[in-house]
Structures are given as C-alpha cells and as structure tokens.
Amino acid sequence: MNEIIAITGMCGSGKTTAANVFKQFGYEYLRFGQVVMDELIKNHQEINENNERKTREKLRKDYGMGAFAVLNQPKINSLIVTTSIVIDGLYSFAEYKLLKRKYGDRLFNLAIYSPPAVRYVRLKNRQAVSDDKNVLFRPLTQVEAEERDYHEIEKADKGGPIAIADWTILNNDLIDIFIKDIKEFLHERRKI
C-alpha cells in the first residue's frame, strides 16, 4: 500500500535534505510550501520573508489553518494512486489533522529536529536555489530566522505536528551523518 511520509520541522532543520533521500528510495516529492511561492510568482511579487509571510497568512485566512493541505490535496490524491509520497514541510496541526482524517494509517509524520543555533548558521550560509518552477531555498538572517520561528510556533501552530510525530530524527551534525541516519531509518522502516 502506498504511504505518505509528511516531514515536519523548523526552517533549516533539514526537511528538504531528508525528502531528497526519500526520493532516492522511490517516493514522489511534494513541497507543501510551494503554494506560497506559486502565489508570489503569479502576483509578480518579490520573494522575500515579508511577502512569504503575508502570503502564508492570506492563504490561511482564505482556506483556514489547513490551507496547505487543502491546496495540495489534489496533487496528493493523484500521486497516492500509483506511488508513495514524501511531503516536504508539513506546517500546521490543522494540516496534520486534515491529512490524518483523509488518509488515516497511510499517513506518517517524521519530525526533523535541530536546535536554533545550528539552524540559524545553516540558514545564514544557505545559497539561494531555484529551478524552472520552484524557488527552493534562500538565505535568512538570524533575525529573519528567529522571527520566522516565533511566527510558525505562535501563529501557524507548527509545534503540534512536531510534538505528535511518529518518529523524530536529530540533525545536529554533518550533512553526511544526517543522510546516513535517514537512509538507516528507511532501511529499518522497510523491514517492518
């Protein structure tokens, strides 16, 4: 049976790195936050932390706190028929509950945890990356990262999915060690 692994964690924790390992194991990739970037591009707005926050807030006002799950549900429904899916960036507890009600025991939640000091260095040094369709990464200053953390915890209810995760993997070390940990997790998971 095809499954959905929803990866959650704070900005800079390693969600996309983990999702890329899942892709190597045959999971189809779905970036939840891409709906924000798509909206900014559609409205010819500059991609920056302020515009992203305003767009996230507008989407949640229009669709509720489960907005990203609502907006990505057609993609999930289409993909789950033929393949397992890895979701990069489950945000709110409302999104988690919506997906859990819809997909039941096919949905699993994986939290990636890194302490703020580690994440803020990563985010400061992160290179801006985009492809033909997606803005994938951009650097954040420590002030931007802290403000985003507070906003995601206080306004986006991001703590819920992290707290209720089926599994948690720490990412406090070198990227090679983290990738090895994700691969070991996947090998163990497939034995079950």
Q: Rounded to 5 degrees, what are φ and ψ at 112? A: -110, 125
Alpha-carbon distance of 135 to 11, in angstroms, equals 15
The reply to whether 190 falls in a domain is: no
Structural domain boundaries enclosing 131: 4-184
| Per-residue pLDDT tens listing for the chain (192 residues) | 899 999 999 999 999 999 999 999 999 999 999 999 999 999 999 888 789 889 999 999 999 999 999 999 999 999 999 999 999 999 999 999 999 999 999 999 999 999 999 999 999 998 776 655 554 567 899 999 999 999 899 988 999 999 999 999 999 989 999 999 999 999 998 764
Q: Rounded to 5 degrees, what are φ and ψ at 109? A: -115, 120
The reply to whether 192 falls in a domain is: no
Instruction: Give me the number of domains the chain comprises.
Output: 1
- Asked if 105 and 3 touch (Cβ cutoff 8 Å), the reply is no
| CATH number reported for the structural domain that contains residue 169 in this entry | 3.40.50.300
Among 90, 122, 114, 123, smallest CA distance to 19 is for 90
